[in-house]
Structure 1
């Protein structure tokens, strides 16, 4: 027997050591090991720390579009501010135009499956059978002393080697001259920029984006941003001021980031008067460039040149669109702290729906997003019509959606309006709350889609909206290929990135707002995050921590399941027991009398599972509490009062099983014999001690005839057929869902 203590000690020691090397990671354990530790740059509360820093880059750019050769030529001076504590011996710039080179490392890898039948356009995407020139020609790079700087180009990134180290707190100016062939957007997949050709009138509409060499981000969490541009993961950029001059054919109209500085030089007196009137037109848009004026421009095709000058403050990028085909309308939008000009540019192919709806959609987005976060701070918000795209840049977005022969279906119209709202909304995420799209696409797409859907619900209630049910098919997909939200942008499967980076984060935020935290508290926390990190670079941990900090709610269990795993929600209402208390005072300690319910089967642990409520309640005796159970307390419960309070009441014990793996709040709908109903909400913390099965007891005045879990489909439960008692067949439950969804 002397060996027994040694054996027990050895077992406990091994268990302890194993626990240290493999810590328990239950669903409610902190996510500290999954996110970066807080520091003086980023605090444990999710706010920027006292030592937070970020770099800055100002740009002076002159560019010219040669319409005959479809070439853009430019020169720029970049002033780069080293606000980091580090000394830099080289700089990295982004050269996104190089992604269009045929030898690009990611060429043809998006949706690259060959089939028995394939369209010529799809074959062009995969093989570039018809080749075309693409990518930057860097002509020179010089420092402020006109000395050449050495460079090395790695695909879509360019290293500039400095002649002298750039110390902390210093700045450097250098100039670059470059050119590149503007590509035909119809010739390659995921075309965010380029030109669209219109054969009918032999004209182009130029969408010019990621068009100049620009500074990559150098941050406290990554150093130099080092992920190549591969089209899905978009941009990580620094804030700065822009002075831009763009020379185009004299009859072109330009829409651009920033304020037009020389309107008197590029617009007629009549157009200037219209633009001035639009600044006080709060009820409807005013046409600045009419259809008749655009038609005249298309017909004449001027060979002269005109330079447009723009200035933009504190933005992280600059984009523009140019065409002689553009009509232009504008309307003032009054926000609590400023007035914004909402403007739309479109060719005749966008009529009539763009003239009717585009600027109104911008206005709706500006108002709803501003109310949810902070007032839109820039002077203009622009929507430009093009084909097959929805793409955002500071103050300007390129948006698809066109009628055919002047007619558009309600579905297509809704899609167009949704696209405009979504892309305008990107001004907040990530153009101002500047997350790294190249690394965490969900931080801009998910948060933006969440507010985009809120805008649709508030301003276009008849349009369909994303709800938790929308994500169910995705979450029940093949676990061998599903990936969690916390997946780097370019590493997601092409046919899944929409669900994983747009819809699933949106649904997660909807659940936090509507079912877990509550609207008022969540809205305040979301607003806190937006204001903490506007004009800064947040990471996922900053969002996670801020939502907890501003709500006093432990959400690690939700983050862990929803963002870091591919588990899904499937809560099963596996059993309900109905009791009434025997009203006579009984001292038969440990004994009770029971009216047997109708039994369908026994559970795996011997528990009985009732089929329905038809046999009435089980009767239980509530015995007096023995003195020994009170320990050292000398006071006693008023047992007669307890019996009085329970007299005639119905006691229901529910058993809920976690089939899918994700813990969630338990939402219980009670339907009573008189036809009335009510809902009880049990916080997710009920799963803390048992993540697989919970029991909960309720006292009800009325008799229950039916119980449903998640009756309003708030939690993305993947199997609603196991959510009810008495049990229902699959068809009836599916019909119930369809009926509820349609209502």
Structure 2
């Protein structure tokens, strides 16, 4: 008997495979061979393993900004801790400023030559107006003052050690360097540099990836020494910072870390206002007013001041400096500390920056903290600039300015959304420190997911990312499309926003709202965030944690959504309507029904609607041999009685797009009421191309819809209904418009 059952099952399985329109793709196979394997460093549960380790780098930096020449020069001492089990004969240091050199190995221009090209675009292409850029490394010395040999390869510098740095040991060395600060308007994707204001002959300096920094050395890759090519961002080690910044005496500095010498760099009034702001939990307090900032613009001090900052357990350090800045601040209370939410902006940002910036910082801090873990740092700063949104620990540079004091609602939404997003990056990747150079989606996608929750809770009228948002992209040209699991610099620039921001966000929204459920998913997402704060997670750590903390098999979802370019397109291929009567049926009524059905279906053609009425079927008695060795019998008269006169619908659904998803079926009844049935994605296990399911309804159905609430980014809603929708739906109009 056992062999007969095996043969039967094998035959059914083979028939299912043969019935598929596509070859077997193993959509429900585990993804274990597609991500880093678990080991003692990273456990199979997705948590850091018992032997997990990561390197550390502490910095002491003294830097001077020279305004007349737009140069910056510094001296730094790095103390590097080799916590790995490996002896290191050399170190890699990042020199991102070298990307600004002419002829650097970046990904090239984003413009083509064409008739009528603008002068700025031509400058991007040719750099006809050249300018100095890139580091001058003045020295590298050990603690005894002896020179250390180094080799520079574009944006990476190899430091050659006389003796290997052994596992468990640390070393200190110093670097002297300088570079010309570049004009931000000269570059696409410019994340730092200066912005010049001709009207008052002043400058705002955004100083980022400015000092030579240790590259990451980890358990899965060794040295992360991929070249910086602008699009892929940063991979950095945590450490403590002591930074002395010398600038013109009339400049204000916004910076990572906590100011150590306020009495030396702030006026008495500014100190008093800052102290007042520390207990202002309901509104920002102006530390520097518009009148003071405008007055400050009129003269340029030739004297210098040194601002001293300390930052604990951060992976980077950045600052902004200008005499143009206004400054406001508001306190945000957490369970065991208070954070100062701050904004710095020139008068060109008024009035919206005064009204909205710090408020947006506060909203982001509160929602992200509730969704993940409490913000741990003493400050969170938003600095106004042009054409950018860029994040660093405790500080972000955010675009959005009014024109002549006015700003459209759409522009204001964009500005506020940018601030929320960039402040949110303090969690992803500044604390949950994923490798941005390799996996942009791990910081941008996860951050955008919580960013969208912040907008939904605090700015419900704003436009937001939903499954609808990603449909135009996912229904695009597959020949140029990349999976989400593509390294940052290998993505087409025209698609990286959709693929690294929107698509991961929508995927997490699907998991939360439609696959796992909010409560369970939120707990699992928090688990991931808390497991990996101040650590370096990989994609496999996220995937494993979400499964570990939900008890839901999600490999099918990760495989399809993250590793392929398949899209969701479910077709409601057919709906058959049946009614069951007792075994002894009135022959005249049965004949009439069969005649109506044949006429309605044009002699065997598939019905287009329900107008032909139901097909009447009888339920015959089960032969004894069908029960096998079972002696008990089903109460067959009762079964027929329960089904008698009810409406039975057999639904056929085809997987056209290739991506398996749960199935949501909406029934519209003749009396105008509706009902929803939900099927898990596992219904596709035996046949990934087509499924049939049977439903029993008391009421007569007039229409059936798939995915009525657009939960799964279905790219073609015209094939989701029975009877078929001839007129374009609102969704398809939205798709064409966008």
Contact 1:245 1:309 in 2 (8 A): yes
Q: What are the equivalent positions in structure 2 for 1:305-454 lying under 5 Å apart? A: 305-454=304-453
Distance 1:598 1:495, change over 3 A: farther
For residue 112 of structure 1, report the CA deviation from its aligned partner.
3.4
Q: CA deviation at 1:643?
A: 2.6
Q: How many angstroms apart in 1 are the aligned matches of 2:76 and 2:555?
A: 46
Residue equivalent to 1:103: 103
Post-superposition offset of 1:93: 0.3
Instruction: Tell me, in whole angstroms, the C-alpha distance in 1 between the residues paired with 2:481 and 2:103.
Output: 30
User: The residue matched to 2:34 in structure 1 has which SS?
Assistant: coil
1:34-433 equivalences in 2 (<5 Å): 34-106=34-106, 109-433=108-432
Distance 1:601 1:530, change over 3 A: farther
Give the Å deviation of 1:601.
7.0
Unmatched tracts of structure 2, length 5 or more: 1-13, 15-22
Deviation, structure 1 residue 648:
2.9
Q: How far is 1:741 from its partner?
A: 13
Whole-Å separation in 1 of the counterparts to 2:425 and 2:604:
54
Paired residues of 2:581 and 2:643 also in contact (CA < 8 A): no
How far does the alpha carbon of each residue in 1:4-45 deviate from its partner, in whole angstroms, 9 at most, with x for none? xxxxxxxxxxx9xxxxxxx97411111122112111111111
Q: How does 1:287-686 map to 2 (within 5 A)?
A: 287-584=286-583, 595=594, 597=597, 609-686=606-683
Match of 1:7 in 2: none
Supply the distance in 1 between the matched residues of 2:605 and 2:624 (Cα, whole angstroms): 33
Q: CA deviation at 1:585?
A: 5.4
Alpha-carbon offset, residue 703 of structure 1? 0.9
CA distance in 1, matches of 2:41, 2:133: 40
Q: Distance in 2 between matches of 1:341 and 1:520?
A: 31
Distance 2:62 2:204 in 1: 20
Give the CA deviation at 1:339.
2.1
SS at match of 1:404: coil
Q: 2:469 is paired with a residue of what secondary structure?
A: helix
Pairing 1:709–2:706 present: yes
478-487 or 87-96, larger mean C-alpha shift: 478-487
Structure 1 gaps of 5+ residues are: 1-14, 16-22
Deviations 1:71-115 (A, max 9, x none): 1010000000000000001100000000000020226x1313211
Distance 1:393 1:599, change over 3 A: farther
What residue in structure 1 maps to residue 728 of structure 2?
733
Shift of 1:639: 2.2
Question: Normalising by the residue count of structure 1, what TM-score does the alignment of the two structures yield?
Answer: 0.93
Alpha-carbon distance between aligned partners in 2 of 1:736 and 1:68, rounded to the nearest angstrom = 56
Tell me if structure 2 keeps the 8 A contact 1:599–1:609: no
Equivalent residues of 2:92, 2:158 under 8 A apart? yes
- Correspondence for 2:32: 32
* Separation of aligned partners in 2, 1:667 and 1:147: 70
Per the alignment, in what secondary structure is the counterpart of residue 729 of structure 2? helix
Q: Is the 8 A contact 1:587 1:624 kept in 2?
A: no
Give the conservation status (yes or no) of the 8 Å contact 2:472–2:735: no
Structure-2 residue corresponding to 1:18: none
Match of 1:688? 685
Deviation, 1:647, is 3.0
Q: Residue 733 of structure 1: SS of its match in structure 2?
A: coil
Count of residues paired in the alignment: 713
Corresponding position of 2:697: 700
**Aligned with 1:695: secondary structure?**
strand
Residue 228 of structure 1: SS of its match in structure 2?
A: coil
TM-score (norm 2): 0.94
CA distance in 2, matches of 1:52, 1:577: 57
Contact 2:600 2:612 in 1 (8 A): no
Deviation at 1:646, TM superposition (A): 1.8
- Cα contact 1:337–1:375 (8 A) shared by 2: no
1:597–1:313 Cα change, 3 Å: farther
SS in 2 for 1:609: coil
**C-alpha contact 1:249 1:306 (8 A) present in aligned 2:** yes
SS in 2 for 1:44: coil
Rounded Cα–Cα distance in structure 2 between residues aligned with 1:338 and 1:639: 69
State yes or no: 1:719 paired with 2:716. Answer: yes
Q: How many angstroms does 1:707 deviate by?
A: 0.7
Distance 1:469 1:421 in 2: 22
Alpha-carbon distance change, 587 to 150 in structure 1, aligned in 2, over 3 angstroms: farther
> Partners in 2 of 1:263 and 1:587 — Cα distance?
96
1:515 shift after superposition: 1.2
Shift of 1:543: 0.8
Deviations 1:491-518 (A, max 9, x none): 1111111111111111111111111111
Conserved? CA contact 1:80–1:173, under 8 Å: yes
Q: 2-side partners of 1:480 and 1:68: how far apart?
A: 51
- Identify if the C-alpha distance between structure 1 residues 741 and 496 changes in structure 2 by more than 3 Å, giving closer, same or farther: closer
Aligned to 2:479, what secondary structure does the other structure show? coil
Residue 584 of structure 1: how far off its partner (Å): 4.3
Question: What's 1:19 paired with?
Answer: none
Contact in 2 for aligned 1:435/1:538 (Cα 8 Å): yes
Shift of 1:416: 0.2
Contact 2:471 2:735 survives alignment (8 Å): no
1:598–1:614 Cα contact (<8 Å) kept = no
The CA distance in 2 between the partners of 1:738 and 1:571, in whole Å, is 19
